[in-house]
Chain A
Amino acid sequence: MNAPRISVVVPLYNEEESVPPLVDAVRDALGPGNDWELVLVDDGSRDHTAEVAGQAADSDSRIRLLRLARNCGQTPAMQAGFDHAKGEIVVSMDGDLQNDPGDIPRLVARLEEGYDLVAGYRERRQDTVITRKIPSWIANRIIRRLTGVQIRDNGCSLKAYRREVLARMHLYSDMHRFIPAVAAATAGARITELPVRHHARRFGQSKYGLSRVAKVLADLLTIKMIRSFRERPLLLFAIGSLGAVLLGLGFTLAAIIAAAFFRPEKVSAVVFPGAALLWFELAGYLMLLGLIAETAVMEHRRDRAEPAPLARGDLR
């Protein structure tokens, strides 16, 4: 069988009831041809997802099942699907039937207009307001603000990518929420959006809760840093160090003024000078850390572990 043009990657975790209708919907959306494949990734499900998905794979050569050895989380599951997808265009989507496979052809058509990544955004989202819509709205605003990537619905998994972009992105931790930001930061991807349909969950339970907010914030800080300073981390630490030096100088000045103008019983000989020393110590510490980070980046470049950057073609 020739390599398919489109690979649809679907991570699954405890979705045994969703798999058969999902497979049918993908078949309906992409037609009877052999130019597509469906890569189902079982993320260590505790129910019969793997068996049900395995039956689907056995009955249709266009469907493949990858089984992870344990429950690794959505990001590694998605990365596993990307690593094993054969198509030049890769589409990711959730396995809980909240995304509609019928939107895939539109996403692909949009990608072929010259984009590297098309992100779906959920119109008329069928979720609860307090626990899903409001946190999502706030998170998306923060993500847009911090990453500079103007995607209105980072939480929607339905996205289409060019393979070259995926080859330059390496997802870890919980970064599936920030794929457009990672793609822009690490591959300079041209990104656009498209409205997609959203359905209420039919089977099973949501795997996420409000507890993800702190994790999202920590990951966001990482993305922001990577986006801004991946080529020169020393600059980030030098800026922080400069701020600490200024604060140290401020406390030094305060110590001098206090010693010169205040009565001795009102001024401690330790507090302001000690505070100044603390800030100077922080400044030195940040510079040393920056040097370590810079060394790590240099060593990485020497290893040439990353593929060359994406080129947009010859400028004549």
Chain B
Amino acid sequence: MSARSPVSVVVLVDERPEPLDGLYEEFSAPLRAAGVPHDFLFLIEPSRESLAAPLERLTASGAPVRRLLLAQAVPEGAMARLAAEQARYDTLLLMPAYRRVEAAALPLLAAEVAGGADVALACRDPRRDPGLNRLQARVFHGLVNRISPQRFVDMGSGVMALRRGVLSDLPLHGEFFRFLPVLAAREGFTIHEVPVRQHPADQRTRVYPAGTYIRRLVDLLGLFFLVRFTDRPLRFFGLVGSVLGLAGAVVLLLLFIQRLQGVGIANRPLLLLGLLLLVLGIQAVALGLVAEIIVHLGAPRRRAYRLREPTPPAPPPES
């Protein structure tokens, strides 16, 4: 694939979008300057429909811009899958509808994929955010990197170039789009982090509502399970169940020994605790068995491997 392979820039218009025509002007300029054939695809949430009007003017003036208005609000993973279906070119450049990195990053990312990477991730370096942002990012990446098969410095830029096939091979349901690099690394795709300059507009302090942090933690737990135990759920539930059940069994054994020594147990709350732990353990194992049945039944349709493929040849540029 040549360094001038065409790219489809996909802009996900959902959270805090900025004026889209200005975004197009700013981010298309370096691609034009680098001679990278491209088009722009704006995927617009219904609540952001009013932002689409300026794009109409761009389209009328002959700019390579398409707009797709979604029928309903969907997570970014679903938007990305739609992008994979609708994009004109096989290399996609995903970005949010606000400025995270400087526009000069786009040709660099496109060149990285043209050079053989499956995913090229924009890594803001150096970070110029306030310390609080950097602290949050450090904690987040510290947790994710414990799960991920590959270490990442900055997964949060939301700007990346990738081959179309990557999106169709990944489970990007719910909020898992955030973890796309981890999931791609798990599937064996080649991922390069490309240092790019952080946009000045991205340097404000970000503090989210408490619910957002809780959702992130739940997502991380989901990611942990997905990465480690999807094919073998009983190992996870069995471990949890064994620990609980064993603790319960020890408590009950102690009570049993005391009963043999003549100590009554009919008024001992410890008996309830022991049984509770045992029952919880059994419940966890039983749940794992059901999960295992579901995995077993799905096995004929699913393969736990992916063959390494030669990089597909790029289509000829059309612009």
The residues of A with any CB-CB pair to B shorter than 8 Å are 44, 66-70, 72-73, 75-77, 79-80, 83, 170-174, 215, 218-219, 221-222, 225-226, 230, 233, 236-237, 240, 254, 258, 262, 265-268, 270-272, 274-275, 278-279, 281-282, 285-286, 289, 292-293, 296-297, 300, 305-306
**B214 contacts A by Cβ under 8 Å:** no
Cα A296 to Cα B305 with chains together (Å) = 24
Max chain A Cβ within 10 angstroms of own Cβ: one of B272, B282, B305, B308: B305
Which residues from B are CB-within-8-Å of A230? 293, 296
Cα A119 to Cα B196 with chains together (Å) = 56
The answer to whether A268 and B269 touch (CB under 8 A), given A221-B238, A297-B297, is yes
Max chain B Cβ within 10 angstroms of own Cβ: one of A68, A173, A271, A300: A173
Which residues from B are CB-within-8-Å of A73? 304
The digit string for B269-290, where 1 denotes a CB below 8 A from any CB of A, is: 1011001100100110011011
The answer to whether A286 and B286 touch (CB under 8 A), given A69-B308, A174-B232, A278-B276, is yes
Considering the complex, give the chain B residue whose CB is closest to the CB of A229: B293
Which residues from B are CB-within-8-Å of A170? 299-300
**Interface contact tally, CB-CB below 8 A:** 141
Q: Which 8 A-B pairs have the closest CB atoms?
A: A69-B188, A70-B188, A170-B299, A268-B267, A76-B304, A76-B305, A67-B308, A173-B232
A271→B266 contact, CB < 8 A: yes
Cα A180 to Cα B266 with chains together (Å) = 50
Considering the complex, give the chain B residue whose CB is closest to the CB of A303: B301
Instruction: Name the interface residues of B218-233: CB closer than 8 Å to any CB of A.
Output: 231-232
Q: How far is the CB of B137 from chain A (nearest CB, A)?
A: 26
Q: How far is the CB of A81 from chain B (nearest CB, A)?
A: 10
Which residues from B are CB-within-8-Å of A262? 266
Which residues from A are CB-within-8-Å of B289? 221-222, 225, 236, 289, 293
B286→A68 contact, CB < 8 A: no
A70→B290 contact, CB < 8 A: no
Which residues from B are CB-within-8-Å of A286? 286
A68, A226, A266: the one contacting B305 at CB < 8 Å is A68
B296→A68 contact, CB < 8 A: no
The answer to whether A305 and B300 touch (CB under 8 A), given A69-B189, A173-B232, A282-B283, is yes
A69→B187 contact, CB < 8 A: yes
Which residues from A are CB-within-8-Å of B269? 268, 270-271
B286→A44 contact, CB < 8 A: no
Cα A272 to Cα B238 with chains together (Å) = 28
Cα A230 to Cα B294 with chains together (Å) = 11
The answer to whether A80 and B307 touch (CB under 8 A), given A266-B267, A268-B266, is yes
A289→B231 contact, CB < 8 A: no
Considering the complex, give the chain A residue whose CB is closest to the CB of B301: A305
Cα A274 to Cα B276 with chains together (Å) = 10
Cα A121 to Cα B294 with chains together (Å) = 33
Which residues from A are CB-within-8-Å of B301? 305
Cα A286 to Cα B289 with chains together (Å) = 11
Given pairs A293-B289, A300-B298, 13 additional interface contacts (CB within 8 A): A68-B188, A76-B304, A77-B305, A83-B303, A172-B295, A172-B302, A226-B292, A233-B290, A262-B266, A278-B275, A285-B286, A293-B290, A305-B301
The answer to whether A72 and B305 touch (CB under 8 A), given A173-B231, A278-B275, is yes
**B146 contacts A by Cβ under 8 Å:** no
B235→A218 contact, CB < 8 A: yes
A296→B294 contact, CB < 8 A: yes
The residues of B with any CB-CB pair to A shorter than 8 Å are 149, 186-189, 231-232, 234-235, 238, 264-269, 271-272, 275-276, 279, 282-283, 286-287, 289-290, 292-308
Q: How far is the CB of A24 from chain B (nearest CB, A)?
A: 26
The main secondary structure of chain B at its interface with chain A is helix
Which residues from A are CB-within-8-Å of B238? 218, 221
Which residues from B are CB-within-8-Å of A282? 279, 282-283
A270→B307 contact, CB < 8 A: no
A297→B293 contact, CB < 8 A: yes
A44→B188 contact, CB < 8 A: yes
A289→B290 contact, CB < 8 A: yes
Cα A210 to Cα B289 with chains together (Å) = 24
Which residues from A are CB-within-8-Å of B305? 68-69, 72, 76-77, 79-80
Considering the complex, give the chain A residue whose CB is closest to the CB of B265: A271
Query: Could you write out 5 A-B pairs with CB less than 8 Å apart?
Result: A75-B304, A76-B303, A174-B232, A254-B266, A289-B290
B286→A240 contact, CB < 8 A: yes
The answer to whether A289 and B266 touch (CB under 8 A), given A282-B279, A300-B297, is no
B303→A221 contact, CB < 8 A: no
Which residues from B are CB-within-8-Å of A75? 304
Which residues from B are CB-within-8-Å of A218? 232, 234-235, 238
The answer to whether A278 and B272 touch (CB under 8 A), given A44-B188, A66-B307, A296-B297, is yes
Considering the complex, give the chain A residue whose CB is closest to the CB of B264: A266
Considering the complex, give the chain A residue whose CB is closest to the CB of B295: A172
The answer to whether A172 and B231 touch (CB under 8 A), given A70-B187, A221-B238, A266-B267, is yes
B308→A215 contact, CB < 8 A: no
Considering the complex, give the chain A residue whose CB is closest to the CB of B269: A271
Which residues from A are CB-within-8-Å of B282? 240, 282
A68→B308 contact, CB < 8 A: yes
Considering the complex, give the chain B residue whose CB is closest to the CB of A78: B305
The answer to whether A267 and B267 touch (CB under 8 A), given A67-B308, A80-B305, A218-B234, is yes
A271→B268 contact, CB < 8 A: yes
